[in-house]
Amino acid sequence: MKVVDRSAKRQKQSRKNSTEEIYDIQAEFCKGLAHPKRILILNLLKHGELSVSQLVKMTGIPQANLSQHLGFLRQQGVLTARRAGMNIYYSIADKRIIEACDLIREIINERIRRTRSLLG
């Protein structure tokens, strides 16, 4: 009977560790999106892939700084990159990321509208 209890306890602990691991991964993923410039980059890329030089022009972010943001988003699996000659093109890895960002923005806009209506 004790063998069964130990096995069940190990399975329960394993599920707990898996759940905690998912939360850790989710928190790290959200941290990757928790920067205004990264959100700007995602917003520009939601219409299709863009080159680094196009993103520099559109964002006004210096290339070195932009490359750091792009690298981080790529490392997090948010963006994919492809090389074509001298250019690197970035695109959104999963369109649901844009849907999630849009949903969060809707929630924020609703909160702003409610606050304004209470104040005005």
Q: What is the pLDDT of residues 30-62, one digit of tens each?
A: 888 899 999 999 999 999 999 999 999 999 999
pLDDT band at 67 (very low <50, low <70, confident <90, very high): very high
State how far the Cα of 8 lies from the Cα of 115, in Å rounded to an integer: 50
| More confident position, 34 or 9 | 34
Pairing of strands 79-84, 87-92: antiparallel
Lowest mean pLDDT among 11-15, 56-60, 108-112: 11-15
Sign for the pseudo-dihedral over CA of 31, 32, 38, 40:
negative
Q: Looking at residue 111, what is its pLDDT?
A: 95
Q: Mean pLDDT over all residues of the chain? A: 89
Tokens 């970035």 belong to 90
